[in-house]
Amino acid sequence: MLQAPLTSIESYIAYFSSREIPVLRRSMRSLAELQQNEDRVSGRILAADVLQDPMLALRVLVHLEAHRHQRQNHDITTVDRAIMMMGISPFFKKFGDLPTVEETLSHHPRALVGLLKVVGRAKHAARWAREFATLRHDIDLDEVTVAALLHEAAEILFWCFAPECMQKIMALRAQNPSMRSASAQEAILGVSIRDVQAALVQAWHLPQLLVTLMNEENAEQPRVRNVILACDMARHAANGWDDPALPDDYRAVSELLRVKQSVIMQRVGAPEDYWFPIAEREIAAEED
């Protein structure tokens, strides 16, 4: 594991590329159970399981791209299509026995907690991005889901392989509550995790569509905005439903979807105490 920061984004990419990405222990247990009834398992069932684990989803897409057939003339942008391309039995052979983050961070319990929080955030973002995409009648819900799930991939990798550095970042921000995340990251790592993320998805040749959907520079596109807003909301909601940034998130999603803010709040699971007063104001405004 990294004990000290590296010198550049490129050196981080090279380092991560030389390591085997661990996955959640629950993923290995779940795949083992599914493999016992392999003949009855479909690609859709496997994909649903993979999408509960951003590290496993990342491994599947990176593997498929690295072993891309010469006659393949289009990108595979969703997990279920990736599994369909591989086949069920080859999938189990390749991904049925992987290292886990629980093993990798067995001597870093605080870092494991930090990593699991990011995983939880990524899963919320993926679910909410899919929910928003459904309301938008998006052309492919799975693409939006995967893009949101992988949006925090670099941060997960830093928790896996640079746990002490990540804990230093957390401590620095605790000492300086007004400090921006990127500033704290640059102070400890020498780079911002967002910049590493942008370089990572390019270096690992993820499908260009997914790269586009994860890139905030393309936020004027509705599908990209869908992903970014879901990730922003998941990050803010992780601090609690009273996070001061959430009202702006609700407004932005409401404008994107042309749906009332109270409806958005209910869809993402905000407690009634938070959305009910908003709903009352919306009804009063309609009556006026």
Q: What is the pLDDT of residues 9-44, one digit of tens each?
A: 999 999 999 999 999 999 999 999 999 999 999 999
Percent of the chain residues past pLDDT 70, beyond the cut: 98
Is residue 72's pLDDT more than 90? no
Least confident residue range of 69-83, 92-106, 160-174, 234-248: 69-83
Give start and end residues of each alpha helix (H) in 190-245.
Answer: 193-203, 208-214, 222-237
Region of 87 (left: φ > 0; alpha: ψ -120 to 50; beta: rest) is left
User: CA 216, CA 220: separation in Å to the nearest integer?
Assistant: 9
Enter the CATH code of domain 105-261.
1.10.3210.10
Nearest to 155 by CA among 127, 193, 181, 185: 193
User: CA 61, CA 214: separation in Å to the nearest integer?
Assistant: 15
pLDDT in tens, 266-287: 999 999 999 999 999 999 998 7
**What is the reported pTM?**
0.94
Domain spans in the chain, listed from the N-terminal domain onward: 19-101, 105-261, 262-288
pLDDT reported for residue 286 = 86
Mean pLDDT of the chain: 94
CB atoms within 10 A of CB 70: 5
